[in-house]
Structure 1
């Protein structure tokens, strides 16, 4: 519905009696004659030329009685472009309005009244309120709520202009100047809200406020904290510039304030300074940590440069980068470097050490390219990095003893046959021995299986039609080095390279209807570029091994076959007229027998004369030593001895059907009694002694609705030991012992259980567990979690608020995890428990805003507690408070943090910590 001012459409005519004024008439005529006589109306007459009024055109048949005035030389009269602009209309655009109860226009007051659910659209401006009044004389719009005896003051105005939304108690808006006065407004600005008693709107992009409150609290009626802005200028979507401002907590002023402030309000990522935290460390002195600069490079890429500095000269630098492209890839790169100084220069315990760590994770979206894939998971650096670094983010990873990396690219070429290849670089580092194994790179290529005798139509049947072969190629460049030579020229001196070609030929078929049989033969060829030559030096009486550079190769082949079946056994306990708890037990047995032949390739072995030995008869001779020139190669050496081996294995599975506790269930519930129970051994027909290999047993099961997982294993040796604890070719039962001798055993059990309310509850420590995994640690909190509270505050997301129930909730959510591990060793009659430990962790949510947790363990063998971490967290609505404590061990420390959750005020925080001493 549209309207215009009535005075624009109706002309008011006032009738009045007229009388003659002779003086004024004569004066007007005289003035007109005077002007016409002395002026030419801006016409420029032609000079030097007269108009012949007596001449006539022969074509003219009739002479006009009115003389034709001479045309002007100007093409346009300048009076048309008048410098006085016409007055603008009151309303430049059409106004649309609506009200639920009534719409009334007062012709006398020139006002339009809208009442109850009133709404006005004027250009990009929209006002919704309980009552709206438009004053045409003052060019103003006044909007306010309505008062109800039951609900009170309702339908408060909502003023919208562009993307800016203001919710005041009332508003006065001038349609001509676009200015406004807003009373008791609440305006969202970025992640926060500005609450102001009086706001002056200068134009559509500038607001001025006085004695306003800026907060990120969700409770705007009674915010738990706010920053009081004495005078401030607001540019919606860009910035808030304020004068004197200080922090209030529940309307209580605090001394925390600034003489002026700047709050960026950009909805996009912006670059900025990261405020450091300060503290004191025993061996390093006072410090500034985690300070730096954040670079918002683009929507797909960012970079954070952080640094630490200590007054004794130690420092650290960290680079953290995240990149992502939707439906393509995402990843992150992190580099950390620390220069640690211990004691003071001149003291005997003065030392300088440098540690570093490089991490890179890259994941390609599966939709990006179905035929090729690139992935990376890199974690390498100093072997002592996680032990020496005292950054809280490494808390859950300092027990790691292995660093591993892998960068791979794979490509598939569709067709018949299909061709696949991959290029991989790997890295494995033992932080205890500081040994490093790398492959730079490993190339693997293969051609898919080909069935040369298969029929063109139908399925493949029989031993001949199932014959298939394929081709595999593996090329590897392997490097073995140490931590001290890493990334140095010497690490490449002992690099080994080689190629391995293999062509497996296999087939499978059914035998006697119930047996599945398979047969395979494999041809293997190895290329190498470095061999050895071994000889005995009689001068030094030492065996000398020399490297021989050059191409060399060897070829091997073998044959294997296997046969197996599946046996099902059902034990039914049900009887007619009885409803037993256990209905039936099913036992599945999968026995299999395999046979392998590996020929002897002794032609690849050479001999040399070794050290002198004296025979029993007193003669002296040199011992003949045998070796292969391919020893030390990355693909091993050819078999020296012929072997003909039979392998035996049996796997078992036990399941039960039991009565379901749910009375509405129509079928019995299936549970697993024994997930697997496997036995395996082998017999070497060509062996001269110790033909039977030890029996290996392994098994596992799940209990308590799959909440508890148990895995166990054992090794049983049938042969006896002599007095020197060496295996002899005599069965243990024939030596006065049992049938088998238990040489090793292990048992691992883990149990995770929780209350019904804490079962699916996500914890804030999930980000810490992800940090553990990235650092090569455990995917749980049994060894503690990484806790950098400032980072967690910046990157973490708030937990979803649960709707409070009207009923009292007496159950406290909790969860608990426990892991038990024991290992037994008796290979040489030591009969000891080599390791015996119990680890546990848990969390308790005392209230929806208060939770405690911890992780610890007990070494049952050495009788002592393992690494222990206690965690406390308090959700203070807009704030978060965390406390982490490691009560004992060499990494004894604590860390307290309290800060605002919102990223816009992330630097408004307090952090206090006691860091562990440096352990070199």
Structure 2
């Protein structure tokens, strides 16, 4: 555009326009011309010029933006940002040549002459932080100097990087590590040449491991590292070592199968040079908002020593674990759950792949698989099917129910109005119906999973119909009265008779349907009494509140002697005994003796109101003094002797902001005993003793304290809890040899890692301590002795932000010896973890040292040395 102060007359020569012929006004001759004489219009041979930019350019800079039309360049300086298509670029200086489609970004010098504002190049999900970069937006090729990028758990820095396209990079003098500090990592792998495919793999040439900037003799002529963000299949490198009993070994080697996004499978195995071997199959599965679970199967063929030696022995051990939980939102009216832990009774005591004292000391293994469903009818119906398992690892006895069936109908009030309050005896009359069926199996470890385990199976059904009502009398007393009817079906009963051939009483099974029916009457009356003892307002304790709940119950059960028969005890025919054919049934047998029992109980609660230390608070603070102090006993009117049952006393309380839990209990017998220890129909006070004879007593104290409130509880490993061990670490922490990445440092420690690295030592050292004391007294037969008296302790302390120490120990005052003791040490080496566990006292004397990389990508880079406790195979 040209602007002037005044109009200048045009000096150009006018060219007259030639009048064009109207193409629509054709004559007859024009229409009838031959086709070859008609002139055609040619297309324009000049192509339209494409736009310089294919997209919108967004940019900004603090100092200046400069456009050079001659060089076709856009320059941004100081905190420059450029967004073009899918490219986001931040740097100190950015030069964009929009004719060549090339972008250059680099650093700038600050006022002190130091380089700052490194480029940050982002395309899609790939982020690169180099010193400088040159990039072509069309060909996608790039040349990068000192690039820094992160792919999964890997951080990579290379002197020069060349990008061929979106999926291939070539790097020179590159180092890659899992350390969070890429500029000064505690370790890295230095590779001369690398081919890098993002989210897929890294292929490197000669690679050398560098620790603390010191090259090590550890090298590889070439290396391959998977970089997929999804799970991929691959080999699991085994651990090498040696044992005194089994020789050299390869342990925990195998293959990981990434089967799908919902489940996986890991197959691991061990081999020992004396012939022992083991196999493990581990699988995890999950589906969001539906369910998740885990399955483990372990088998070990163990050989101790060698053939010909006296200590030679072979043993086969196995363990099956399955945990399954369903999301509550998946199906509100039905639920499936599983918690399975079964196998050989000696697995955790003899396994060479588990150093888990808490699991080996546990005497019980249990399992449960159940499915339940609720039918939203009126009345509501509940249905469930379950299979259970209970195993004693000391006696090696196993009890199973395959299956247990239960169904129940919700409570029905036949005389209650549809709307309004149910008040009175008649309106509160209600009844229920429930049925339970079981197929119970009792076997041993040696017969488990063998046909013989089903030979002694017992089964049956139990129907129950309780009828009850409740009402108030004298305004303050609540009365409950009712009756219960039960019918039991058995498909196998017994018969007892004296056999002349064997000269003893023989018990035989009788197959076939049989049933018995029982009923009883019951009632209960109770009330609640409140009492408050007030003190001077100036006292620290301002009041004590006592809540007492007395109750009296009555239960009448008639005699069902019609279900009893007699059998001869010997060949003379003069000695007989009574029995019922239902006595070995899973739901019990009908009672022969009439019961007319009155029960009495008093429950007490004591609570104090204490003046708060905070003077700004006007209300006193409530402190629990004694919780649930219960006294209970009963009297059988129909009994001809020993009518009173022993009195049961139990209670508990909490102190120090619920950190100390105290529970106690005792049994007080009013009757005396004879010289043989049998109860006689004579009160103990009439026999020269006290009013009650204390037969048993027990007390447990658990105290949890720490340097900060709420941090006193120990945290055992997940595998220890899954194996049936304690949730705390009073019996030490279990170690799974197939995964040594378990740490003493909690998730909170990891979150605060950056803050802790700035501290060399701590003025306030975090710690936690758990104390457990147990005392058991027995005087059943005038032994008057302490049968159990032990103190156990477990704790952890952070010596420095990177050093943590833990211990578990105890003392048995009865056996006068130190119980299981474990010392734990761990050093957080940033990307690495180093730990040392030591059990110094027999019979579990052992130690283990481990140092390795935390990251799962490089978990095979480790050093593991251990000496496990001696195993006695059975």
TM-score higher than 0.5: yes
In the other structure, the counterpart of 1:697 is 649
Match of 2:581 among 625, 629, 641: 629
String of CA shifts for 1:359-394, please: whole Å, max 9, x gaps: 111111111111111111111111111111132353
1:507-533 Cα shifts (integer Å, max 9, x gaps): 111011111111110111111111111
The match for 2:613 among 653, 661, 673 is 661
Q: 1:345 to 1:644 in 2, by over 3 A?
A: same
**Cα RMSD over matched residues?**
2.6
Which residue, out of 846, 849, 854, partners 2:799?
846
Structure 1 residue 60 displacement after superposition: 7.9
Describe the shift of the 1:93–1:675 C-alpha distance in structure 2 as closer, same or farther (beyond 3 A): same
In the other structure, the counterpart of 1:237 is 199
- CA shift, 1:176, in A, is 5.5
Alpha-carbon distance between aligned partners in 2 of 1:115 and 1:699, rounded to the nearest angstrom: 77
- 1:127-206 correspondence to structure 2 within 5 Å: 127-135=89-97, 140-149=102-111, 152-175=114-137, 177-206=139-168
Q: What does residue 554 of structure 2 align with?
A: 595
Supply the distance in 2 between the matched residues of 1:304 and 1:148 (Cα, whole angstroms): 54
Taking structure 1 as the reference length, the TM-score comes to: 0.88
Contact 2:798 2:805 survives alignment (8 Å):
yes
Distance 1:785 1:690 in 2: 50
Aligned: 1:769 with 2:720: no
TM-aligned CA distance change 1:239 to 1:624, over 3 Å: same
Distance change in 2, residues 1:454/1:90 (3 Å) = closer
Return 804-813 or 434-443, whichever deviates more: 804-813
Q: Deviations over 1:87-110 (max 9, x none)?
A: 988655454443332222335555
The structural deviation recorded for 1:540 is 3.3
> Which residue pairs with 2:667 in the alignment?
715
2:786 is the counterpart of 1:833: yes
CA distance in 2 between partners of 1:840 and 1:794 (Å): 22
User: Pick from 814, 819, 828: which aligns with 1:861?
Assistant: 814
Following the alignment from structure 1 to structure 2, what is the Cα–Cα distance between the partners of residues 239 and 909? Answer: 22
CA contact (8 A) 2:717 2:742 kept: no
- Counterpart CA distance in 1 for 2:311 and 2:41 is 99
Residues 1:791 and 2:739 aligned together? yes
Task: Verify the 8 A CA contact 1:794 1:901 in the aligned structure 2.
Answer: no
**In 2: Cα distance, 1:299 partner to 1:550 partner:** 52
2:327 equivalent to 1:376: no
Q: Considering only CA atoms, is the larger Rg found in Structure 1 or Structure 2?
A: 1
Structure 2 residue 511 is the aligned partner of structure 1 residue 549: yes
Number of aligned residues: 843
**Structure 2 match to 1:604:** 563
User: What CA distance in whole angstroms lies between the structure 2 residues aligned with 1:862 and 1:595?
Assistant: 45
Is residue 789–residue 882 contact of structure 1 (8 Å, CA) maintained in 2?
no
Q: Which residue of 2 aligns with 1:824?
A: 777
- Where 2:720 maps in the other structure, the secondary structure is helix
Instruction: String of CA shifts for 1:840-886, please: whole Å, max 9, x gaps.
Output: 10000011111000111111101111111111111101111111111
Moved more, 268-277 or 94-103: 94-103
Structure 2 residue aligned with 1:674: 626
- Flag the 1:136–1:448 CA change in 2: closer, same or farther, 3 A: closer
Unaligned runs of 5+ in 2: 1-25
Shift of 1:742: 0.8
How far the C-alpha of 1:759 sits from its partner, in A, is 4.3
How far off its partner does 1:597 sit?
0.6
Deviations 1:730-783 (A, max 9, x none): 111111111111111111111010112x843898xx4x4332221111111111
After superposition, the Cα gap between the structure-2 partners of 1:524 and 1:264, relative to the gap in structure 1 and judged at 3 Å, is same
The offset of 1:151, in angstroms, is: 8.5
Runs of 5+ unmatched residues, structure 1: 1-58, 614-620
Counterpart secondary structure, 1:791: coil
Larger mean Cα displacement after TM superposition, 554-563 or 787-796: 787-796
2:755 is equivalent to residue 804 of structure 1:
yes
Deviations 1:46-85 (A, max 9, x none): xxxxxxxxxxxxx98547999974689xx999x9999xx9
Q: Which residue matches 1:492? A: 454
Report SS of the residue matched to 1:234: strand
Q: Deviations over 1:149-205 (max 9, x none)?
A: 158322221122232111111122244543222112211122111111221222232
1:348 corresponding residue in structure 2: 310
What SS does structure 2 have at the residue aligned with 1:459? coil
User: 1:590-646: per-residue Cα shift (whole Å, max 9, x none)?
Assistant: 111111111001111111222267xxxxxxx61121111112011111110111111
Q: Structure 1 CA distance, aligned partners of 2:693 and 2:559?
A: 32
Match of 1:913 in 2: 866
Aligned-pair CA distance for 1:112 = 3.1
The Cα of 1:715 is off from its aligned counterpart by: 0.6
2:539 is the counterpart of 1:580: yes
- Given the alignment of the two structures, is residue 509 of structure 1 paired with residue 509 of structure 2, yes or no? no
- CA spacing shift, 1:221–1:732, aligned 2, 3 Å: same
Instruction: Report Cα offsets for 1:515-570 as digits up to 9, x if no partner.
Output: 11111101111111111111112343211111111111111111011111111110
> Match for residue 726 of structure 2?
778
Task: Call closer, same or farther: CA 1:630–1:87 in 2, change over 3 Å.
Answer: same
Aligned to 1:36: none
Question: Is 1:224 the counterpart of 2:186 in the alignment?
Answer: yes
CA 1:392–1:437: 2 relative to 1, 3 Å: closer
Go from structure 1 to structure 2 and tell me whether the alpha carbon gap of 1:740 and 1:64 turns closer, same or farther (over 3 Å shift).
closer
Q: Which stretch of structure 1 is more off in the superposition, 477-486 or 166-175?
A: 166-175
How big is the shift at 1:468? 0.4
Query: Are 1:283 and 1:918, in contact at CA under 8 Å, matched by a contact in 2?
Result: no
2:14: which partner in 1? none
User: Does the residue aligned with 1:799 lie in a helix, a strand or coil?
Assistant: helix
- Counting only pairs closer than 5 Å after superposition, residues 891-910 of structure 1 correspond to structure 2 as 891-910=844-863
For the 8 Å contact 1:747–1:823, the answer to whether it is kept is yes
Equivalence for 2:521: 559
